[in-house]
Amino acid sequence: MKLDQKDIQILNLLQKNARLSNKEIAAELEIAASTCHERLKRLTRDGFFKSFNANLNLNKLEFNIEVMISIQLNKHEREVINSFIKNVRKINGVIKLYHMAGKTDFMLHVAVCNSNELRSLILDELTKFNYIGHIESSMIYFHDDINQLLIKPQ
């Protein structure tokens, strides 16, 4: 599906503030609310939105430590990779999982309440997989979900 200028404006607005109402988007774009609603339905149906979810304030929930964990596997067969992904999805505290090219095979974004939880996650959860060759963790001091990917007209 080819996006037109109004579709792109809708995506850009929602990327900045997903709480905008249909009425607010329509007013910003100077189109009828019914037209905006139909465009939103089409964009949703055609898969332009991966998900609709809340971006939680982890500090308010007392997840005070965020870490990026770099994983190098010692086996790279498809079944090993699929098994790793399946198992990591079950680990409490893993926020995001990235399969990478280069020296690092996987990067995990993890949030925990304290250093003991981080230690347990690494020693009790990750090291039990015999196909992991190397684990390295890096503390996150600050991050910001900028969500400013401006979509340009096609």
Q: Model confidence over 107-130: pLDDT tens digits? A: 999 999 999 999 999 999 999 999
93 falls in which pLDDT band (50, 70, 90)? very high
Q: How confident is the model at residue 16 (pLDDT cuts 50, 70, 90)?
A: confident
| Fold of the CATH domain 65-139 | Alpha-Beta Plaits (3.30.70)
Write out pLDDT tens, residues 24-78.
999 999 999 999 999 999 999 999 999 888 888 999 999 999 999 999 999 999 9
Contact 49, 17 (CB under 8 A): no
Each domain of the chain, given as residue ranges in start order, spans 5-45, 65-139
pLDDT of residue 52: 83
Q: What is the CATH number of domain 5-45?
A: 1.10.10.10
Confidence band of 154 (pLDDT split at 50, 70, 90) = low
The answer to whether residue 150 scores a pLDDT higher than 70 is: no
Instruction: Give pLDDT, residue 142.
Output: 93
Distance CA 22, CA 36 (A): 7
Q: What type of residue sits at position 101?
A: A
Please name which of 11, 108, 110, 99 lies closest in space to residue 58, comparing C-alpha atoms. Answer: 110
Q: How confident is the model at residue 2 (pLDDT cuts 50, 70, 90)?
A: confident
As a whole number of angstroms, the distance between CA 99 and CA 101 comes to: 7
Reading the block at residue 142, the tokens are 């600050």
